[in-house]
Amino acid sequence: MLPSNSVGQHRWLLLLRPGNSDESLKAFLTLFARFAALGDAGAFVARDSDVSNCSMRIRGQHFWADHSLEVLVDVAYCDPRYARVLRNVVCGMGQILDSPVLEFRVEGEIPSSTDIQIKAEVEPNEIHAGRFYPEVSSRLGTQVQFRKPPNYRSGRRLWVTANSALSVSLVERLTQLVDLWGSLLVVAFPSTEDELLDGETMILNVEGCQHDEVTFEVLIDRFIASEAAFYSLINLVVIGASLDAQVLEATVE
């Protein structure tokens, strides 16, 4: 259950199986901090919100004696469906650490009768309709094109073109954001629940680089995931680039 307001405090609650070490909980805390950094950079901006106001910032955390972790997060103008992406990442981390997650919840800090329910289990029909994961922002001010190739599971690419030369500092910043996105969201966008639980979904070898003086590109070697993953990546790269340049076009192929 998440607040219906665009601005509010969210609580991320994680409960691990008894017997796990404190190091496992600390690993999840690091994961939450990295996820919030992506959200703060615009990766999960709400579709119709002003992209400049989007933020996601951790303001507190607490480890409890029952092997649970509570994290309080200030969230502004992020699509509430980010909770599905985070749940998938948490599930994947549990599999990697061999620390099964007994429970994970995202909710408002203070429950309200106006809270909205976000179902976590992956729904293929909702994914096909483009409604399950956060969408591309409608306020990027950029022409966005999708060209899904026949062999869409490998050799994918996103590139953005600006109206002027990209500065060295901007390229470095975008490269860092893409590295974070690629290393954290490996299993974040499965097309079915079985893909997630069986470890069959993956986004691997994500690399951001400057293609020419006005173009930044992201290369993805292996892509077994929902196309909605690109919505998040487009938001992240275009918003990041717009801090220093006017982005004319973003293309996925």
DSSP code at position 51? G
Residue with tokens 């219906």: 4
Classify residue 8 as exposed, middle or buried by CB count within 10 Å of its CB (0-12, 13-18, 19+): middle
Tokens 């992956």 — which residue? Answer: 122
Domains and CATH numbers, the chain: 7-120 (3.30.70.600), 138-252 (3.30.70)
The long-range contacts involving 144-147, CB below 8 angstroms and separated by at least 24 positions, are: 144/234, 144/249, 144/250, 144/251, 144/252, 145/249, 145/250, 145/251, 145/252, 146/227, 146/230, 146/251, 146/252, 146/253, 147/251, 147/252, 147/253
Tell which residue, 39, 48, 115, 49, has the closest CA to residue 71.
39
Distance of CA 91 to the CA centre of its chain: 14
Global pTM value:
0.93
Do residues 221 and 144 make contact, with C-beta atoms less than 8 angstroms apart? no
Structure tokens at 86: 């985070």
H helix count then E strand count, the chain = 6, 9
SS3 assignment, position 104: strand
CB atoms within 10 A of CB 234: 25
Residue 151 is predicted with a pLDDT of 77
d(CA 107, CA 11): 5
> Token pair 């680039």 is at which residue?
241
Residue 97 per-residue DSSP state: H
pLDDT of the chain, 253 residues: tens digit per residue: 677 677 889 999 999 887 777 788 889 999 999 999 999 999 999 999 889 999 999 999 999 888 889 999 999 999 999 999 999 999 988 887 776 788 899 988 777 777 778 888 999 999 988 889 999 999 998 999 998 777 778 899 999 999 999 999 999 999 999 999 999 999 999 999 999 999 999 999 999 999 999 999 999 999 999 999 999 999 999 999 998 989 999 999 9
Q: Between the CA of residue 195 and those of 120, 232, 250, what are the distances in Å?
A: 14, 20, 28
* Whole-number pLDDT of residue 99: 66
Q: Take residue 162 and report the two structure tokens written for it.
A: 């600006």
State the helix-helix crossing angle for 228-242 and 168-184, rounded to 10 degrees. 160
| H or E, element range at 105 | strand 101-108
Name the residue with tokens 């094109």. 145
